[in-house]
Amino acid sequence: MRDFAGKFAVVTGGGTGMGRELARQLIAEGCSVAMCDVSDRNMQETIALCSADGVPQGAKITAHVADVSDEAALIRFRDEAMAAHDIDRLHLLFNNAGIGGGGSMVVDDRAEWERTFNVCWGGVYYGVRTFLPALMAADEAHIVNTSSVNGFWASLGPHVSHTAYAAAKFAVKGFSEALITDLRLNAPHVKVSVVMPGHIGTAIAGNSRKVIRGVEEDKLSPDELTRARQRIGRMGLDPDQLTDDAIQAMMDEQARRFLEDAPMTAAAAATVILEGVKAGRWRILVGEDAVKMDALVRADPDHAYEPAFFEVLAKEVGWQLNGIAANQAK
Is residue 2 in a domain? no
**β-pairing verdict for 190-197 and 32-37:** unpaired
Q: Please return the burial class of 288, using the count of CB atoms within 10 Å of its CB with bins 0-12, 13-18 and 19+.
A: middle
Cα 157 to Cα 328: distance, rounded to the nearest angstrom = 8
Is residue 245 in a domain? no
Instruction: Look at residues 79, 90, 183 and name the one whose alpha carbon lies nearest to residue 139.
Output: 90
pLDDT tens-digit series, residues 26-82? 999 999 999 999 999 999 999 999 999 999 999 999 999 999 999 999 999 999 999
The residue among 207 and 54 whose pLDDT is bigger is: 54
pLDDT tens-digit series, residues 216-226? 667 778 777 77
Is residue 202 in a domain? yes
The residue among 234 and 292 whose pLDDT is bigger is: 292
Q: Is the pLDDT of residue 93 over 60?
A: yes
Is residue 91 in a domain? yes
- Owning domain of residue 112: 8-218+265-290
Q: Is the pLDDT of residue 107 over 80?
A: yes
Q: Is the pLDDT of residue 213 over 80?
A: no
The residue among 62 and 103 whose pLDDT is bigger is: 62
- The mean pLDDT of 114-121, rounded to a whole number, is 97
Q: What is the pTM of this model?
A: 0.87
Number of domains in the chain: 1
Q: Are 53 and 28 in contact (CB under 8 A)?
A: yes
Q: Is the pLDDT of residue 322 over 70?
A: no
Alpha helices in the chain (DSSP H): 17-28, 40-53, 71-85, 110-117, 123-137, 163-186, 204-213, 222-234, 244-260, 266-279, 288-299, 307-317, 319-322
- Secondary structure (3-state) at 148: coil
The residue among 253 and 93 whose pLDDT is bigger is: 93
Q: Please return the burial class of 51, using the count of CB atoms within 10 Å of its CB with bins 0-12, 13-18 and 19+.
A: exposed
Alpha helices in 66-197 (DSSP H): 71-85, 110-117, 123-137, 163-186
Is residue 284 in a domain? yes
Q: Please return the burial class of 205, using the count of CB atoms within 10 Å of its CB with bins 0-12, 13-18 and 19+.
A: buried
Instruction: Look at residues 193, 189, 220 and name the one whose alpha carbon lies nearest to residue 206.
Output: 220
Is residue 92 in a domain? yes
* pLDDT recorded at residue 215: 59
- The mean pLDDT of 293-297, rounded to a whole number, is 97
Is residue 1 in a domain? no
pLDDT tens-digit series, residues 221-278? 877 777 778 777 876 778 787 888 877 777 776 766 666 677 899 999 999 999 999 9
* pLDDT recorded at residue 320: 55
The CATH number of the domain holding residue 206 is 3.40.50.720
Cα 319 to Cα 313: distance, rounded to the nearest angstrom = 8
Q: Are 7 and 32 in contact (CB under 8 A)?
A: yes
Q: Which helix (H) or strand (E) holds 26?
A: helix 17-28
* pLDDT recorded at residue 211: 66
* pLDDT recorded at residue 130: 98
- Secondary structure (3-state) at 290: helix
Is residue 139 in a domain? yes
CA atoms within 13 A on the CB side of 321: 9
